[in-house]
Every structure is written in structure tokens, then in C-alpha cells.
């Protein structure tokens, strides 16, 4: 072999050796990064842990805070608001009733013809109206005039199958999903606007009086007989179809719970006790907090960067508004500290709330062999174009950790309500059945979440008690529930004969 050939062989061997070294270094660096990413994931999983013992502590804390909130006005982070709803629908209601559901940039108007125990909801119709942006930041009169005009238009289309008894005024249930200080069943002052509304002259005003004046200006003869929020509407809708419903929970973008309390168990109530002996309490449970809640660095960061720092802590770890963003925050740390998506941190991963909970749910429910949905969501939403199956599996695992914590804590909250009502045990010889009416997109559409919630509640209660508790999906509480509350709080107390 000549000198040139020998030299070439030596150079080749050196090149192969260098390449092998580079590959080895790359693999070692890659393995190091992967180990770091897994450390971040495992630490988060550990801090998000919800063992049964911890969930029992959360349930006990919820029950204690419920007592404190009922005792005095500022006794607890749980507001435990008196709703003035002391008559839930019984099923005997007859007649024509309307509902107005104002909770965001659209509002719905609904009418129902009720036919008593036999007929139930004989017929119903609704329409949905979009609110022009300028009215969301204009004056109170402009907004309520617009709503009253649309309401009058809808009333004008009242056709066959709807019948208002002679001598009766039309009655309306008003679902108003903004913070309100309720003064009676049919009055309440606006505390502040949320959801993009900013109408200064409406703050501190009675929203029912504002709507009533607008209806008068539009020549519409209608009385608001119930002012409620969507959670109480859900409770009313649930009770109408099932007499065993004692509480309602909404798990959607936000979260809240309401339940039926004994009126004599509300120390802060100073009025006459209602004839029914009952009062519906709007818990505002999103504001619950306790040292037992498993909060992580990501939850603290989310809270600090939020518009309501230190408020709604429970909501920030269990509701649809926030779950996707918690996943994003953990992925961002993995990208920054462990180059989880390569050397460059994907810029979109730094955008708060870019990853919404419906997208997180779609990834969590991906059953394709190559996790195709996960791959396409990462690409379309976060601009991460090429991901390995191994990486996608980690993303699914992260979604599972976040959803599981939220679902199990929701179950603990429900157990807190059951404890307060004494329905977390079975008394000998009693055949009680307890139904919780549930609504909200998170509960309805995120199957892994709702399945986990129900199995956790069974685990907490034990088999015997779990058999007496039913979680029932009660759809459209904010619409039909409000019309039913208009009926059960009608100015015409006698039950109309069909």
C-alpha cells in the first residue's frame, strides 16, 4: 500500500472517530436534556399530587369555610351569598314564562310554555343576539334599550302553542352573570363589570330597575320576577326535572357552586324565615383557598400575572380558563431549561393563554398510534413543527397530570358540600338519594376530566354512600332554569289550572 493510501486511511479513520465522538456527545447531551425535562415533569407531578388524605383535608376545609361564610358577611373567602331564591320549581308550574340570559358578548332570550306535572315543558323557543362592541363600553341606557328592543321583537313573534292567561303580565327570569349584590329575589346592584364590558354609569345601579325602565321606554309590559346567576339557574333546572337535586356545580371557563341550605342554618340572615324553610346559597366557590391545595410554582406565577391577584385561587387550578395555560407554563420551563423542543425556545410558547383547554383536551384524548392530534396541535398552535412520538407522549402525560389534579380537587369540593349537608354518610334505615346537577363545557366535553371527577368522588365516599349520590348533567340551566325561577317566584301565587 502506498503512502497516499495509508494517509487517506488514517484521515478516514480520524473522521469516523470524530463523527462517532460527535454522535456520542450529541446523544449524551440529548440524554442529559431529556433527564432534565423529566425531572421538571416529575417535580410538577409530585407537587400537584392529590392523595386521598389531602383531598379529605380540602373537603373538610371547604365545609369549615362554608360555615364561616354563612356566619357573617366577611367571615370567609367563600362569599356564601344569599340568593333570595326560597322556592325552587316543583314541576307544578303552569303558564308562559320568559328568560333573558346575559353573561357575555351574546345574550339569549327564551320563552317556555309550562304544563304542570303532566305537560312539563310543553314548548320552548329561543333566539341569540350579539351585542355590538360600542354598547359594551357605552351608557347603561344604550345597553338596556338595545336588550329591551330585542326582547320586544322576540315577544312579538309569540305564536301558536304559547298562551298567556287573561289578566296576567308576562314574567321574566333574568340570568345576569356578572358580580351583583343581590337585594331581593328581583333586585341587585352591579358590583363591577367583567368579560369586556365597561359601562361606568351602570356600576352600583340595580340591574333589574335599569332593564325595567328600558322595557317601559320600549312599551314592553313585562315584569322581572327573578334575578339569578347561571349556577342557580342550573340548580333550578335540575330540581324541576328531579326532586332529589340539592346542589349545582358549573365547571366551564369559570367555576361555581350553589346548594339548598336550611334557612335557620344561616346566622347572617336577619330577615323573616321563608315559608319554605329553605334558601339557595350561591357559594362563589372559585374564591375558595386553603393551605391544603396543592399549588405549584406555575400556579403562583399564573396568579401573580392575573388581573385578580390572590383571588379565585380554586378556580385557577380547576377551571377551563386556566388548565391549558398551566400546561403551557410547564412546557415553557421544559423548553427553556431542558431544550425540550430543540435549541430554540418556540416563541409562541411564551404567549399566555395561547394553549386553550379545548386543545389540551383534544391532545389528552388522542388515541392514534403516532399521537397525530398532539403533533398537529403543537404545530398549529405553538409553531413546533417536528416532534418525536416520545415527546408527544410526555405532552399527553402532562395534560393528564393537570386535568387529574383539577378533577380530583373538584370532587373534594363537592364532598365539602355533602359534608355540610350531612349527606356524606348513610343513616340507618334512610333511603336518601342526593343528586348534584352539573353543567359547563369542561364537565360536558372533557371526558377524561369528568370521568376522573366521578371516580374520585366514589373513592372518597366509599361504595355504600357513593350508591346514594348521583351526578347528573343538567344542560342549559342559565336559560330554562331562569324561566322556571320566574315561574316559581311568580306574582300570581296560585297554581293555574291547565
Tens digits of residue pLDDT in 94-134: 899 999 999 778 899 999 999 887 778 889 899 999 999 89
Burial of 430 (0-12, 13-18, 19+ CB in 10 A): exposed
Q: If you average pLDDT over every residue of the chain, what do you get?
A: 90
What is the per-residue pLDDT for 495? 46
271 in the same domain as 382: yes
If you average pLDDT over residues 346-370, what whole number do you get?
A: 96
| Residue range of the domain that includes 157 | 84-228
64 in the same domain as 89: no
SS3 54: helix
Contacts of residue 202, Cβ cutoff 8 Å, sequence gap at least 6? 140, 143, 190, 193, 210
Which domain CATH number covers 269? Answer: 3.40.367.20
For the beta carbon of residue 122, count every other beta carbon within 10 angstroms. Answer: 17
Q: Is the pLDDT of residue 12 over 70?
A: no
Known catalytic residue at 200: no
Known catalytic residue at 483: no
Q: Work out the percent of the chain whose per-residue pLDDT is above 90.
A: 72
Known catalytic residue at 467: no
Number of domains in the chain: 2
What is the per-residue pLDDT for 476? 67
What is the per-residue pLDDT for 428? 76
Note the pTM of the prediction, 2 decimals.
0.89
Q: Is the pLDDT of residue 9 over 90?
A: no
If you average pLDDT over residues 317-328, what whole number do you get?
A: 96
Q: Catalytic one among 86, 145, 206, 230?
A: 230
Domain-embedded: residue 17: no
Q: Is the pLDDT of residue 28 over 70?
A: no
203 in the same domain as 258: no
Copy the grid coordinates of residue 277.
324553610
Q: Work out the percent of the chain whose per-residue pLDDT is above 70.
A: 93
pLDDT bin (cut points 50, 70, 90) of residue 13 is: low
Domain-embedded: residue 497: no
Domain-embedded: residue 1: no
Of 183, 198, 228, the residue at which a domain comes to its end is 228
What is the per-residue pLDDT for 497? 41
Q: Catalytic one among 108, 239, 392, 423?
A: 108
Which domain CATH number covers 181? Answer: 3.30.420.40
Domain-embedded: residue 27: no
Domain-embedded: residue 494: no
Q: Catalytic one among 48, 63, 83, 177?
A: 177
Residue 445 to residue 447: CA distance in whole angstroms: 6
339 in the same domain as 365: yes
Amino acid at each position: 500500500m502506498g503512502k497516499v493510501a495509508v494517509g487517506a486511511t488514517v484521515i478516514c479513520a480520524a473522521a469516523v472517530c470524530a463523527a462517532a465522538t460527535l454522535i456520542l456527545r450529541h446523544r449524551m447531551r440529548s440524554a442529559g436534556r431529556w433527564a432534565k425535562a423529566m425531572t421538571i415533569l416529575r417535580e410538577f407531578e409530585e407537587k400537584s399530587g392529590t392523595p386521598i388524605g389531602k383531598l379529605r383535608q380540602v373537603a373538610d376545609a371547604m365545609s369549615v369555610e362554608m360555615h364561616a361564610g354563612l356566619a357573617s358577611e366577611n367571615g370567609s373567602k367563600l362569599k356564601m351569598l344569599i340568593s333570595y331564591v326560597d322556592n325552587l320549581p316543583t314541576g307544578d308550574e303552569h303558564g308562559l314564562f320568559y328568560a333573558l340570559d346575559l353573561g357575555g358578548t351574546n345574550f339569549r332570550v327564551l320563552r317556555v310554555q309550562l304544563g304542570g306535572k303532566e305537560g312539563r315543558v310543553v314548548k320552548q323557543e329561543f333566539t341569540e343576539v350579539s351585542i355590538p362592541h360600542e354598547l359594551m363600553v357605552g351608557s347603561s341606557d344604550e345597553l338596556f334599550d338595545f336588550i329591551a328592543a330585542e326582547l320586544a321583537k322576540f315577544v312579538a313573534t309569540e305564536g301558536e302553542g304559547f298562551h298567556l292567561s287573561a289578566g296576567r303580565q308576562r314574567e321574566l327570569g333574568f340570568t345576569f352573570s356578572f358580580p351583583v349584590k343581590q337585594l331581593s329575589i328581583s333586585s341587585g346592584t352591579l358590583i363591577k363589570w367583567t368579560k369586556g364590558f365597561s359601562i361606568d354609569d351602570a356600576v352600583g345601579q340595580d340591574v333589574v330597575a335599569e332593564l325595567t325602565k328600558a322595557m317601559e321606554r320600549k312599551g314592553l309590559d313585562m315584569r322581572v320576577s327573578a334575578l339569578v346567576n347561571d349556577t342557580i339557574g342550573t340548580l333550578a333546572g335540575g330540581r324541576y326535572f328531579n326532586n332529589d337535586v340539592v346542589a349545582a356545580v358549573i365547571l366551564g371557563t369559570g367555576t361555581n357552586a350553589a346548594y339548598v341550605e336550611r334557612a335557620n342554618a344561616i346566622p347572617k340572615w336577619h330577615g323573616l324565615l321563608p315559608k319554605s324553610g329553605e334558601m339557595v346559597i350561591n357559594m362563589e366557590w372559585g374564591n375558595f383557598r386553603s393551605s391544603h391545595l396543592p399549588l405549584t410554582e406555575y400556579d403562583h406565577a399564573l396568579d401573580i400575572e392575573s388581573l385578580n391577584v390572590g383571588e379565585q385561587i380554586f378556580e385557577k387550578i380547576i377551571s377551563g380558563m386556566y388548565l391549558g395555560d398551566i400546561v403551557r407554563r410547564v412546557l415553557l420551563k421544559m423548553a427553556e431549561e431542558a431544550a425540550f423542543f430543540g435549541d430554540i425556545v418556540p416563541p409562541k410558547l411564551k404567549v399566555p393563554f395561547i394553549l386553550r383547554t379545548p386543545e389540551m383536551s383534544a391532545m389528552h384524548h388522542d388515541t392514534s398510534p403516532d399521537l397525530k392530534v398532539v403533533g398537529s396541535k403543537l404545530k398549529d398552535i405553538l409553531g413546533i413543527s417536528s416532534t418525536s412520538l416520545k415527546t408527544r407522549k410526555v405532552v399527553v402525560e402532562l395534560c393528564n397530570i393537570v386535568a387529574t389534579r383539577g378533577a380530583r380537587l373538584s370532587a373534594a369540593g363537592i364532598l365539602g358540600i355533602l359534608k355540610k349537608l350531612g349527606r356524606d354518610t348513610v343513616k340507618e334505615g334512610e333511603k336518601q338519594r342526593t343528586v348534584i346537577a352539573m353543567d359547563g363545557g369542561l364537565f360536558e366535553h372533557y371526558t377524561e376530566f369528568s370521568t376522573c371527577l366521578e371516580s374520585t368522588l366514589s373513592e372518597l365516599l366509599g361504595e355504600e354512600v357513593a350508591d346514594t349520590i348521583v351526578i347528573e348533567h343538567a344542560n342549559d340551566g342559565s336559560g330554562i332554569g331562569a324561566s322556571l325561577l320566574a315561574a316559581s317566584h311568580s306574582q300570581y301565587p296560585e297554581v293555574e289550572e291547565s
